[in-house]
Amino acid sequence: MFTGIIEEVGFIESCQGGHIKVRCGTVMSDMTLGASIAVNGVCLTAVDLRPDGFSADLAQETLDKTNLGDLRAGDPVNLERPLQLQTRLSGHIVQGHVDGTGVLEARDEQGITVRAPRELDRFLVYKGSICLDGISLTIASVSDGLVRVAIIPHTWEATNLRARKPGDRINIECDVLAKHVDKLLSRMQTSQA
């Protein structure tokens, strides 16, 4: 489990054949073989640990549902180690289980606008939580499939958002609480019918 508070921006060394190699430093301080690590919000298992980075294998499901397969050498990625129970939960509950990808429509230092897939719309609400490329954010507006989130200067500087361009695919993880409420309500409606 993660919080969506990015610890470090790492850089892709290579991404090919279902294998990703990341160059980084901060998150390596207590990394162990087999540990979970969120890369652009995708929960991966760290293998091939080196002082300056790690590797991870990518399942076909991961390549199909996320933007990790789009990455090339030199691309910046958001990194976060898993939550430790004795720390504060600064963001929101993030599982690292990406629901799909959206397309970056617009960006500036105050915020970004992402076109989300239609099937995720029911989980997106004004002032609700959303995770974009692993970053815990609050929805500032949502209308006709366009999700706008405000970006504070710290987030702009501490994540890979500065490097993202309109047209880029963005990983989206909807709030797990919204998904559970949706399922409970649909069961209630089915039982009443």
Is a pLDDT exceeding 70 seen at residue 139?
yes
d(CA 167, CA 193): 43
At 78 the pLDDT is: 97
| Domain spans in the chain, listed from the N-terminal domain onward | 8-80, 100-186
Is a pLDDT exceeding 90 seen at residue 96?
no
Read off the pLDDT band of 193 (50, 70, 90).
low
d(CA 58, CA 65): 11
* DSSP three-state, residue 179: helix
Tokens standing for residue 123: 């989980």
Cβ count near 34 (within 10 Å)? 9
Provide, rounded to the nearest whole percent, the portion of the chain with pLDDT above 90. Answer: 71
Average pLDDT, the chain: 91
- Write the CATH number of the domain with boundaries 100-186: 2.40.30.20
d(CA 84, CA 184): 29
| Cα angle for residues 24, 175, 72 (degrees, 5° grid) | 30
Is a pLDDT exceeding 80 seen at residue 192?
no
At 93 the pLDDT is: 80
Read off the pLDDT band of 27 (50, 70, 90).
very high
Q: Is the Cβ–Cβ distance between 105 and 147 less than 8 Å?
A: no
Cβ count near 54 (within 10 Å)? 25
83 compared with 7, residue with greater pLDDT: 7
d(CA 28, CA 49): 8
At 182 the pLDDT is: 81
Lowest pLDDT segment from 41-50, 104-113, 183-192: 183-192
* Phi, psi (rounded to 5 degrees) for 183: -65, -45
109-136 average pLDDT score: 93
Tokens standing for residue 42: 């995708």
Active site residues: 2, 36, 43, 45, 59, 97, 138
d(CA 174, CA 177): 9
- Same topology between domain 8-80 and domain 100-186: yes
The CATH classification of domain 8-80, taken from the options 1.10.10.10, 2.40.30.20, 3.30.499.10, 3.40.50.1980 = 2.40.30.20
Is a pLDDT exceeding 90 seen at residue 169?
yes
